[in-house]
Homo-oligomer: A and B are copies of this chain.
Amino acid sequence: MAAELTARELIARHRPTLDQALEAIRTRVYWSPHPEHPKAYGEQGSLDAAAGKAAFDALVGTRLDLGQPGTDGFTGGEVSPYGIELGVTYPHADIDVLLPAMRAGQRAWRDAGAEIRAVVCLEILKRISDRTHEFAHAVMHTSGQAFMMAFQAGGPHAQDRGLEAVAYAYAEQVRTPDTAEWTKPQGKRDPLALTKRFTPVPRGIALVIGCNTFPTWNGYPGLFASLATGNAVLVKPHPRAVLPLALTVRVARQVLAEAGFDPNLVALAAERPDEGIAKTLAVRPEIRIIDYTGSTAFGDWLEANARQAQVYTEKAGVNTVLVESTGNYQGMLSNLAFSLSLYSGQMCTTPQNLLIPREGIRTEEGPRTFDEVVADLARAVEGLLGDDTRANALLGAIVNPDVKARLEAAAGLGEVALAAREISNPEFPGAVVRTPVIVKLDGAKPDDEAAYMSECFGPVSFAVAVDSASDAVEMLRRTIREKGAMTVGAYTTDAEVEGAVVDVCLDESAQLSLNLTGGVYVNQTAAFSDFHGSGGNPAANSALCDGAFVANRFRVVEVRREA
């Protein structure tokens, strides 16, 4: 088929961005080609706020037919955490038809080479970026994120993570040259001489299993890493968060077709209620790579059972902030209050356990007892969320009934230092909006351990009284080792305590944020610079994004012959 988008055109359009991304992952300084501000959109083909909203509104109640082979019906039933029924239906696939169809275009995609694949991926990301406003509404109404967060985390930040994965994938593939002339001296005899050709080859079909809370942010790294390394990609969204990934698949299929490739290299696997197709797909012999974000139970199941595939998982962890001393007490309180509140604590990176010495902490304002610190933090959260408009903009909505149930049960776990407050959302009366809960626990009481040593996903934090800084350090170590952690935070002005915390994080492979008091929060990571997770503790078996995340998604095949 004649490509509408030629290779030359795509390279001219995207090679500079690829080069900048390659430089960014090498230097890890700040960089992003995707604007964070909603007003930055609306020119050069991108949708502005009104057009994005209109595009989203036009989707509601429609059938999103992707033209996929093996479509044997349509399914869908997403209800926005803001109370709206989306009413969008998606193709349901007969996988015995769809999987073989996805393989049909793989040879051409493989033979296109790493650079073409990279720029096709960048074109997909560019088209998605142009529709960021539309995606923002789709992410908002599936994840429950507030609009601005859905816009940024679901838009530019997710696109950054996708681009970062493309950059790593490209860099990894071009580490080996296309060809080499190998000449080995043989003393007085003629040298041995071989011509060698090296080709990156894909593993097969990659499966992306999406999550409810960050369908694009957590879905894009695996999707783009696999596609850029030559694999076909089947996207199985969370049943409550299909729309953002269905739109992504639609864009990818369009771009692939326009570039002269088989659109079936990317496909959607939407499921009927309670069908549980992830389990079926995960063990299909055609599926050779799996990217998963979600519960530890299913992540562990995948790692144990999907033995035919490379499995990349982000599971649950218990994130800790150790509070020992600070030189900026108010800054610490407001930074922590924001971290606990953002998206109602429904981030895999939100702190859960705040370890505070029972004797209290040193601050530049003088000592503060354990109870004072907890009360001051509770007040900081109340202050941050005192205005309902602001609270709605920060909290978003509770994503699903499980989170709401956990939040309600949390009050029974210990002394409530901050109770959840119900907030109404005038724009979306159906939204369930709650401020976070802080519960006091005692690290010395065996009865409390069950609570603070389990992940309680949602807006629930535990202020855990510990005997000393070294007790806190040991509790941190045990928590990371046994339960895993996506993030660790610490506040200390004591070099010895800082050193001990750093050592624990290096020993147990956890990402550490120290003494954050300004506008950067422990639960946020920036693509091209910060690693998301470490891949070295039980919370995740891989990090976003590094060499290990891409290097095993393809293999290099060598063909050698005498020169």
| Contact with A529, one of B28, B182, B547, B562 (Cβ below 8 angstroms) | B182
Is there an interface contact between A557 and B505, defined as CB atoms closer than 8 Å? yes
Is there an interface contact between B555 and A535, defined as CB atoms closer than 8 Å? yes
Complex Cα gap A151–B303 (Å):
42
A514-B559, A536-B555 given; A27·B177 CB < 8 A: yes
The segment from A138-146, A196-204, A259-267, A344-352 found at the interface with B is A196-204
Is there an interface contact between A546 and B551, defined as CB atoms closer than 8 Å? yes
A273-319 CB contacts (< 8 Å) to partner B: 303-304, 307
Is there an interface contact between B201 and A520, defined as CB atoms closer than 8 Å? no
A465-519 CB contacts (< 8 Å) to partner B: 502-503, 505-507, 509-519
Give a binary string over A535-555; 1 marks a CB under 8 Å from any B CB, 0 the rest.
110000001001110011001
Is there an interface contact between A515 and B176, defined as CB atoms closer than 8 Å? no
| Contact with A514, one of B507, B520, B561 (Cβ below 8 angstroms) | B561
| Contact with A182, one of B196, B506, B526, B560 (Cβ below 8 angstroms) | B526
Number of copies of this chain that the complex holds:
2
Enumerate chain B residues within 8 angstroms of A63, measured Cβ to Cβ: none
Complex Cα gap A192–B36 (Å):
14
Is there an interface contact between A513 and B177, defined as CB atoms closer than 8 Å? no
Chain A contributes a number of interface residues (CB within 8 A of B) equal to 67
Question: Smallest distance from the beta carbon of A428 to chain B beta carbons, Å?
Answer: 29
Question: Smallest distance from the beta carbon of A333 to chain B beta carbons, Å?
Answer: 16
Enumerate chain B residues within 8 angstroms of A547, measured Cβ to Cβ: 172, 175, 547, 551
Enumerate chain B residues within 8 angstroms of A536, measured Cβ to Cβ: 201, 203, 555, 557
Give a binary string over A317-347; 1 marks a CB under 8 Å from any B CB, 0 the rest.
0000000000000000000000000000000
Main secondary structure of the interface of A (DSSP, over half): mixed
Enumerate chain B residues within 8 angstroms of A303, measured Cβ to Cβ: 307
Complex Cα gap A304–B201 (Å):
25
A506-B557, A530-B558, A558-B530 given; A180·B29 CB < 8 A: yes
Give a binary string over A381-418; 1 marks a CB under 8 Å from any B CB, 0 the rest.
00000000000000000000000000000000000000
Enumerate chain B residues within 8 angstroms of A517, measured Cβ to Cβ: 562
A181 within 8 A of B: yes
| Contact with A513, one of B503, B505, B560 (Cβ below 8 angstroms) | B560
A32-80 CB contacts (< 8 Å) to partner B: none
Question: Smallest distance from the beta carbon of A310 to chain B beta carbons, Å?
Answer: 9
Looking across the interface, which residue of chain B has its beta carbon closest to that of A176?
B28
Enumerate chain B residues within 8 angstroms of A194, measured Cβ to Cβ: 520
A131 within 8 A of B: no
Is there an interface contact between A511 and B29, defined as CB atoms closer than 8 Å? no
Is there an interface contact between B543 and A555, defined as CB atoms closer than 8 Å? yes
A13 within 8 A of B: no
Question: Smallest distance from the beta carbon of A245 to chain B beta carbons, Å?
Answer: 27
Complex Cα gap A183–B28 (Å):
10
Enumerate chain B residues within 8 angstroms of A556, measured Cβ to Cβ: 531, 534, 543, 546
Is there an interface contact between A559 and B502, defined as CB atoms closer than 8 Å? yes
| Contact with A552, one of B180, B186, B511, B548 (Cβ below 8 angstroms) | B548
Enumerate chain B residues within 8 angstroms of A560, measured Cβ to Cβ: 512-514, 520, 530
Interface centre among A307, A555, A561 (most CB of B within 10 A): A555
A26 within 8 A of B: yes
Is there an interface contact between A557 and B534, defined as CB atoms closer than 8 Å? yes
Question: Smallest distance from the beta carbon of A490 to chain B beta carbons, Å?
Answer: 10
A110 within 8 A of B: yes
Complex Cα gap A543–B175 (Å):
15
Question: Smallest distance from the beta carbon of A270 to chain B beta carbons, Å?
Answer: 30
Give a binary string over A181-195; 1 marks a CB under 8 Å from any B CB, 0 the rest.
111111000001010
Interface centre among A184, A192, A535 (most CB of B within 10 A): A184
6 A-B residue pairings within 8 Å (CB atoms): A29-B181, A175-B546, A546-B551, A547-B547, A551-B551, A551-B552
Chain A positions within 8 Å of B, measured between CB atoms, are: 25-30, 107, 110, 172, 175-177, 180-186, 192, 194, 196, 198-199, 201, 203, 303-304, 307, 502-503, 505-507, 509-520, 526, 529-531, 534-536, 543, 546-548, 551-552, 555-562
